Amino acid sequence: MHKSIAMAFGFAAAFTIASASAQVTLAIGVPAVTLGINVPVYPHLVRVPDYPVYYAPQANANYFFYDGMYLVYQQDTWYASTWYNGPWQVIAPEAVPVYVLRVPVRYYRQPPTYFRSWSANAAPRWDEHWGSSWEQNHRGWNSWNRNSMPQVAPLPVYQRQYTGNRYPSIEQQQILRVQGYRYQPKDVVVRQYYQAQPVPYAQDHSPKQVQKEAKREQKRVEQQARFEQKQAKEQAKFEQKEDKHQQKPAKHE
């Protein structure tokens, strides 16, 4: 993955979560940001031990997956997406799922400089970093009963086949998710993130129409894959023929 940021902000959706202590308004960009982090293929994700969160150990970024959502932490900002290579949306500090915030420092592959003074085996000190206003709305954020930890969400591995030119548009992403990923988020923040997405095709069509469209998109992707494989084989044959021609000794007169 290479790293260079180019940000293009769009409009935002706001929603409110009721907590025991306060009503917290969360703002999410829809769809707002293009990150200069390119994930050309589905990343290798490993579960963080004893946490319902995955991280990408081979990534050159702070890349996580939790409860059906991918998250990236870059330049003091959190971004989220339901697909492994975006598009990414900005998430305010108040909206980041608490189980992601609890992940120890050692699982951040590109930790910011201010992480260096903190213990590698403990969560980042978000209360210190984000200040008293954030802390007041997140009292006890890092105190939790591990016996009541939520189950780990299944990885959306159906996305592995969508790479390069086959990577789907936003509307196609939602259609394919309906067909290929039946998991429903349990975390209240993630659920409301899903609800803040642009109105999907699925809401305007019957389930049969959605499935038909998903199958049509799947067929298109498979045809594209076969075409690319055929091209690659033909190119390989051509290169082999060229190599044999070059290696053939010249006849002496």
Q: What is the pLDDT of residues 93-129, one digit of tens each?
A: 999 999 999 999 999 999 999 999 999 999 999 999 9
Cα–Cα nearest to 92, from 6, 32, 21, 171: 32
Establish if 56 belongs to a structural domain: yes
Q: Residue 27 sits in which domain range? A: 11-161
**How many domains are there within the chain?**
1
- Tell me, rounded to whole angstroms, the distance of Cα 178 from its chain centroid: 17
Where helices occur in 30-97 by DSSP H, the ranges are: none
pTM score over 0.75: no
Identify which has the larger pLDDT, 246 or 56.
56
- pLDDT-based confidence at 193, cuts 50/70/90? confident
Q: Looking at residue 161, what is its pLDDT?
A: 93
Judged against a pLDDT cut of 80, whether residue 246 lies above it is answered with no
pLDDT of residue 55: 98
> Could you give the strand order of the β-sheet that contains 69-74, starting from the edge strand earlier in sequence?
11-18, 23-30, 89-91, 77-81, 69-74, 62-66, 54-55, 46-47
CA 14 to chain centre: 21
What is the torsion angle, in degrees rounded to the nearest 10, for the CA atoms of residue 177, residue 181, residue 184 and residue 189?
-50
- Residue 28 domain flag: yes
Q: Which pLDDT score is estimated for 237?
A: 73
What percent of the chain lies above the pLDDT cut of 70? 65
Neighbours of 9 (CB within 10 A): 10
Q: What is the pLDDT of residues 194-212, one digit of tens each?
A: 877 655 444 444 545 545 5
Using the Cα atoms of residue 187, residue 193, residue 196 and residue 202 in order, give the sign of their dihedral. negative
Assigned domain for 214 exists: no
The verdict on residue 70 lying in a domain is yes
Distances (CA, A) of 194 to 159, 185, 205, 207: 17, 8, 18, 18
Q: Shortest CA distance to 42 belongs to which of 60, 66, 59, 30?
A: 59
Is residue 196 assigned to a domain?
no
Residue 7 pLDDT class (50, 70, 90 cuts): very low
**How far is the C-alpha of 253 from the C-alpha of 251, rounded, in Å?**
7
- Is 41 a domain residue? yes
Asked if the structure places residue 183 within a domain, the reply is no
Residue 131 lies in a domain: yes
Higher pLDDT, 224 or 72: 72
Res. 67 pLDDT band, cuts 50 70 90: very high
Q: What percent of the chain has pLDDT over 90?
A: 47
